[in-house]
């Protein structure tokens, strides 16, 4: 069973900075902490390269593959210069991405071969990412001026025509320095060296699994 990437992750970091985190690697054939796509963690947020499925679980490690932490300038307008959704599915004013994994990957990575190799089985899956203003601030500052009341939400739906059939939900918050991949005392796990996945659950192959359920699970309780 393959765990869905935290397009935590996930994907959000990538969207904002050239090094943002998001979808990056092709999920392995073994279960594990899912890939997270992120908005822009510039260092590999979503689709991370740490062996997790496809989520860049490592803002700040992917060098642009996924959302990374070391963000760049953040635009509040769509690529066509007006408020609203652009052709890829980003609405930076509302801080939402609503589109396919393929659209996300081509917008952030722009390499068809890469996107096919890493997300081919999930290309048609539907991805919704949401993040707050503090996430944008962190990306703009390269996450160098903490603390941050930052969070992002990734909802991955593969129950669509041509989709993977998997469904995953990730919640990610900034918590400060932590050991990448380590389980944290409250039930979540560390990604990108400064963030915690406080919820990681979904269904694959007809089996529902939980990989993280932090207590509390609400965004307002962090950092």
Can you give the three-state secondary structure of 154-198, one letter per residue? EEEECCCCCCCCCEEEEEEEECCCCCCCCECCCCCEEECCCEEEE
Task: Report yes or no: 95 and 103 within 8 Å, Cβ to Cβ.
Answer: no
Q: Stretch 134-141: mean pLDDT, rounded? A: 96
Cβ-defined contacts of 186-189 (< 8 Å, 24+)? 186/214, 186/215, 186/216, 187/212, 187/213, 187/214, 187/215, 188/212, 188/213, 188/214, 189/33
**pLDDT at 73 > cutoff 50:** no
**pLDDT at 130 > cutoff 60:** yes
Q: Stretch 208-215: mean pLDDT, rounded? A: 96
**In the chain, how long is the greatest CA-to-CA distance?**
45
CA dihedral 176, 92, 89, 7 (to 10 degrees): 0
Phi, psi of 177 (to 5 degrees): -50, 130
Per-residue pLDDT of 74-89, as tens digits, reads 233 334 455 788 888 8
Q: Which two tokens stand for residue 55?
A: 């989520």
Q: Is 62 left (phi over 0), alpha (psi -120 to 50) or beta?
A: alpha
Q: Stretch 83-102: mean pLDDT, rounded? A: 89
Q: Stretch 160-165: mean pLDDT, rounded? A: 96
**Percent of the chain scored above 70 by pLDDT?**
63
What is the value of pTM for the model shown?
Answer: 0.70
| Rounded CA separation 106/3 (Å) | 22
Shortest CA distance to 97 belongs to which of 52, 145, 50, 45?
Answer: 45
**pLDDT at 37 > cutoff 80:** no
Radius of gyration for the chain, computed over Cα atoms and rounded to the nearest angstrom: 15
What are the structural domain ranges in the chain? Answer: 6-73+83-221
Q: What is the DSSP string of 33-65?
A: SPPEEEE--SSS-SS-SSSSSSS---TTTSTTS
What's the pLDDT at 82? Answer: 56
What's the pLDDT at 221? Answer: 86
**pLDDT at 115 > cutoff 70:** yes
Give the pLDDT band of residue 53 (cuts 50, 70, 90). Answer: very low
What is residue 113's DSSP assignment? H
SS3 content of the chain, % helix, strand, coil (to 5): 15, 25, 60
> Which of 40-49, 58-67, 150-159 shows the lowest per-residue confidence on average (mean pLDDT)?
58-67
Shortest CA distance to 38 belongs to which of 204, 61, 84, 29?
Answer: 61
């Amino acid at each position: 069973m393959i765990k869905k990437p935290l397009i935590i992750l996930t994907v959000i970091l990538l969207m904002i900075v050239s090094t943002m985190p998001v979808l990056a690697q092709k999920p392995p054939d073994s279960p594990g902490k899912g890939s997270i796509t992120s908005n822009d963690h510039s260092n590999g947020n979503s689709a991370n390269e740490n062996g997790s499925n496809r989520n860049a679980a490592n803002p700040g490690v992917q060098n642009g593959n996924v959302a990374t932490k070391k963000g760049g300038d953040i635009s509040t307008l769509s690529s066509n210069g007006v408020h609203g959704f652009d052709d890829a599915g980003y609405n930076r004013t509302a801080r939402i991405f609503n589109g396919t994994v393929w659209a996300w990957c081509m917008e952030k990575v722009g390499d068809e071969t890469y996107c096919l190799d890493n997300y081919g089985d999930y290309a048609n899956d539907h991805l919704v990412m949401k993040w707050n203003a503090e996430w944008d601030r962190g990306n703009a500052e390269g996450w160098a001026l903490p603390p941050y009341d930052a969070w992002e939400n990734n909802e991955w739906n593969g129950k669509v025509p041509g989709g993977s059939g998997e469904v995953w939900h990730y919640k990610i918050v900034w918590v400060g320095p932590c050991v990448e991949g380590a389980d944290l005392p409250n039930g979540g796990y560390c990604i990108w060296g400064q963030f915690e996945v406080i919820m990681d659950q979904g269904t694959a192959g007809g089996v529902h699994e939980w990989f993280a359920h932090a207590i509390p699970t609400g965004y307002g309780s962090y950092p």
